[in-house]
A and B are shown apart, each in its own frame.
Chain A
Amino acid sequence: MKKMLSVLLSAILTMSLFAACSQAAPDTSTPAESTSTVANTGESTGAKKRIGVAMINVTQPFFVDMIEAGNDAAEDYNVEIDWKSCEDSLDKQISVLENFIEADYDCIMVDAVDTVGIASTIEKAGKAGIPVVTMGQLVDTDYNVSTIYSDYLYASFITEMLWNATGQEGTLALIYGTKGNFTSDERQRGWEDVCGKLNINNVQKPSNFNPDEGYKAAQNLLSANKDLSGIFSVSDAVTASVYKAVSDAQREGNVIIASNDGNIDASQAVKDGKYLCTVLMGAKRVGYWNVKVATQLLNGEQLDPVLYLPEHLIVTDETKEKITNEWKLDTSAISIISPDDGIRLYDDYRSEFGPGQ
């Protein structure tokens, strides 16, 4: 009896292991409003249209906020949406997409683990008549709309701004995410181009978007570079621990910190003078806006193959004044807002991107 129980429990534990490994995000799809069947063309004939989303993972706080707002967009735009985690695996992401294709989803959204590796599967979806939105990444096929962020532009601007804020002295440090992550790579590219152009002495370390690793990276950079005058951390969640490392080293006064993502905590930190700036992408804005783009495709709208999310640089009025009058930086392509506006807009995505906007 005990042996049977052990075998049974082993089997259950093994199955739960595989089930847990699939790490499906909370299924937020709502029941169809009618029992109409889905036509072979993939179009619903009365039931809500279905969007399948293949996320890199659902563990990053950024992605969690994206999903929350994406569900709001699904509600506002009257679509069903299924979020699936791909566990940072290209293989798994390909499987998820193929499942969406087989199940005749009306539209697919994908945050690609590998922009080259996923291309053929996106083409497969396109040939099956399913429009695809590739979020935050530039994927080059004839069948997708790429929604990307002005990471390169804003990272370049922040680098130049940081350099000026430090009095053009010392060494600057970049704490990026992960090599191969498109967003992180673009921000790093912007940083490197400006450092090269202005001959800025700089060092770089990865954080893998892990706050603990970001803390250690910052700590090591501070130890190795006594003349470190500024740090640009590309993700707000990591920047908080970078700031802690600077604070623990008692160098708050002489190391300036810049960030990106525009989380509420970061906007508040800008307001409090802890950070020089952050950039409002806003995970919730990203989630909501991407679902909006998907519904536009579902409604047959013709969209450009590459769309840019409106972003905003968050700085204090004092810094804005310096940007314009003292450092004389070119702000023609940059939208600048205050921390209070950043905090408001972070959650006010509906008024920015909702139906009718």
Chain B
Amino acid sequence: MNQTKHAVDWQRMTPGVAILVLVTVIVVCIPDTWRQGAGVQTISNMFLQMSSLGVIAMGALMVTLTGGIDFTAGWGTALAGVVGGYAYLLTENLFVMVMASVLTGFLLGLCNGLVITRLGINPFVTTLAMMSACQGLSQMVLEGKYVMLDTRASRLIGGGTLNELLGITYSAGNPLTWLTQIISVPLLILALVAVVGFVLLNKTRAGIHIYAVGGKEEAAKYAGISIKNTKLLVYCFAGVCYGVASVIIMCRIAQITPTVSGTLLLDAIAATVIGGTSVAGGKGTVGGTVLGTIVIQLLASALIFFGMPDTLPQAVMGLAILVVLLLDSFFAKKQRSSHRIS
């Protein structure tokens, strides 16, 4: 008798499983001091903190899908921020600042893309060199100084809630209050970028090309897909993401400063990989990357909740990422062997 087995796609479930495990551990083991203080505000903070990372991770996703790499995530974000900030200093217009940041990011991505596709330079070397260039340039723009940024609009962009954006006030006890507290403007921006990314990857021809180039570049070439234009597109998209993220960060911290690159690059790559994106290219989803970003944020929050010594977070984060990757690899092998049996 024939039985049709529907194999569970454990590999795609890895980020979801990781989130479930982390949330369970946190809820069960969280110290009392945090349990008393935790609530809507804590969840809101987590979503707020992950928004800029999530936007950068969307850019990293696109590049990784084509089998590329982009080291300019961190310093590119800083450069986009200070250029936008400089534009703000000249014009005192927040809209101009946003446009300048996004345009700078786009131009950075365009530069990366052109060097990689038209001149045939390896993405590793190209983006590594550009990263250093961005680092130097970001210091030059404001001569290394920081400038305060504090307007009503910037406060809204950096951390305003949904009801602040809509100008709605709920009465105490209204169940919608907690929902609108959690949904912040940066989270909405992340959602918008994610939707654009989803549509690009799943509803357009360009998306098909992106997966094809990452999956098997030679085959894509013979299928008539323009490898160069596809790769150029993803680097431009990534650059725009850095510009958008820089605006969120500057508005959140109320400063225009070059010293924000931090661990953005590593965290963004980690978010895409944990989200199921293959570094070899051709595999990955927007949803997975969003889940990967949530995992990174949960990990960071868990380390704080459990009072880990401050010297440990990076080490623990790295180990946790390895665990997720091992799980991913385990489920992938399990899936391949179940396909062979069926």
- Using CB atoms and an 8 Å cutoff, list the residues of chain A in contact with chain B: 2, 5-6, 9-10, 13-14, 16-17, 20-21, 23, 58-61, 63-65, 179, 204-206, 208-216, 219-220, 223-226, 237, 240-241, 243-244, 248-249, 265
Contact = CB atoms under 8 A, between A and B. Distances in A.
Interface string B138-162: 0100011110101000010011000
B125 interface: yes
A220 B262 contact: no
Given A16-B129, A16-B132, A63-B144, A224 B37 contact: yes
A100 B45 CA distance: 48
B280 interface: no
6 contacts: A59-B139, A59-B258, A210-B259, A211-B146, A212-B260, A244-B150
B316 to A, nearest CB: 15
Interface stretch (B12-20, B54-62, B101-109, B248-256): B248-256
A150 to B, nearest CB: 25
Interface stretch (B115-123, B191-199, B221-229, B271-279): B115-123
B192 to A, nearest CB: 21
Given A223-B42, A241-B253, 18 more contacts: A2-B120, A23-B135, A59-B135, A61-B146, A64-B143, A64-B144, A179-B311, A208-B262, A210-B262, A212-B253, A215-B253, A219-B48, A223-B37, A224-B305, A225-B33, A226-B37, A241-B252, A244-B252
Given A58-B139, A219-B45, A9 B262 contact: no
B139 A211 contact: no
Interface of B: 33-34, 36-38, 41-42, 45, 48-49, 115, 119-122, 125-126, 128-129, 132-133, 135-136, 139, 143-146, 148, 150, 155, 158-159, 249, 252-255, 257-260, 262, 301, 304-305, 310-311
B49 to A, nearest CB: 5
Contacts of B311: 179
Q: Would you call the interface of chain B mostly helix, strand, loop, or mixed?
A: helix
A63 B41 CA distance: 36
Contacts of A60: 144, 259
A83 to B, nearest CB: 12
A59 B254 contact: no
Given A212-B262, A220-B304, A58 B144 contact: yes
Nearest to A263: B146
Contact of A249 (B41, B126, B158, B252): B41
B125 A10 contact: yes
B119 A9 contact: yes
B122 A10 contact: yes
In order of increasing CB-CB distance, the 9 nearest A-B pairs are A64-B144, A20-B132, A241-B253, A244-B254, A13-B129, A17-B129, A6-B120, A223-B42, A211-B253
B257 A211 contact: yes
Contact of A223 (B45, B120, B126, B155): B45
A5 B119 contact: yes
A6 B120 CA distance: 6
A224 B132 contact: no
Contacts of B34: 224
A20 B119 CA distance: 21
B255 A241 contact: yes
Contacts of B38: 223-224
Contact of A20 (B41, B135, B257): B135
B37 A211 contact: no
